[in-house]
Copies of this chain bind each other. A is one copy, B any other.
């Protein structure tokens, strides 16, 4: 194998691929990146068995072939090289890949390409076209609500439910839930559950991708493929029954608050200074006639934050894990936001003033009313 390319092209590809390289793996070759050259294109592939990433770019002076080298080392080297032409060659020394750029000559250990476990792409006519910005937005607004506890099985995933021209993403961890909706220009139907950690990596890849505004998503029974101009991510899907999330949404409220999102966020963040991890980050919100009093206390002191709000219905004292509210208020961009509450022990909904682009549910923390 042999090729010449720009440092920028190789660096972009390595930075993309490295997102699927497992730092801790018992399979040494998975710490590597597979480099394959075929007919003027170099393709870099990485995999952690749950997700694999392939990305390619044009090369010159090439000889077809393939090789596997340490992802970390390749990344460290390419990152430090100047933006000039890089020559890659496996034919100079047996079992080594040489990297040459101006006065720099590297020679690094390579492994046989045929030992690299290939996941294989998705061969299917079952696919969608999605707007890249829409898909990024839906990931950003939902993925944080999934469970990060591997023992929680299906809750570590994010459900995508595509139906009647709408894409709905749902993630929940037992304490809070995100439901995010987007109109998409397709009348296809599809339902799949994808691990939230893979979704986060896809978000990063799309964020760095400079290609077209559209991506394609292809499906097989147990995997999905996310395709941009130069890159494809193949993700293992989660199997099993997702929670019947519509059943846990409260159907009525007794207290409805409309509040400026940024004011609310800043006040909760300040109140959190006294809300310690060990105590569930507890803050109390006292809903008055036209203000919210947000309070928290610790041995070090206490804080009261007053936020003006438009309150309908009953006054209420309710406790929350401040982190769950902060997570939600940070990803929304609306100027105003609505909180709907039933009582101090029933779940709270956070919704837009108009429309139904998102519905967040947060369970309250039981507090002793003193």
Contact = CB atoms under 8 A, between A and B. Distances in A.
A80 interface: yes
Contacts of A77: 270, 273
A287 to B, nearest CB: 15
Contacts of A302: 106-107
Interface stretch (A4-12, A34-42, A183-191, A304-312): A304-312
Interface in A257-271: 266-267, 269-270
Categorize the interface residue count of chain A: 20 to 34
B107 A303 contact: yes
A252 B266 CA distance: 65
A103 B293 CA distance: 9
Contact of A303 (B105, B266, B269, B308): B105
A299 B107 CA distance: 11
A305 B106 CA distance: 8
A74 to B, nearest CB: 10
Nearest to A295: B105
A32 to B, nearest CB: 12
A103 B300 contact: no
A270 B77 CA distance: 7
A331 interface: no
A107 B273 contact: no
A223 interface: no
Interface string A107-140: 1110000000000000000000000000000000
Nearest to A105: B304
A186 B3 CA distance: 62
A70 interface: yes
A199 interface: no
Contact of A301 (B81, B82, B107): B107
A300 B267 contact: no
A70 B300 contact: yes
Interface string A44-77: 0000000000000000000000000010010011
Given A77-B273, A96-B301, A300-B70, A267 B108 contact: no
Interface of A: 70, 73, 76-77, 80-82, 96, 103-109, 266-267, 269-270, 273, 299-308
17 contacts: A76-B273, A77-B270, A77-B273, A80-B266, A80-B269, A104-B267, A104-B270, A104-B303, A104-B304, A105-B303, A105-B304, A106-B301, A106-B303, A108-B300, A108-B301, A109-B299, A109-B301
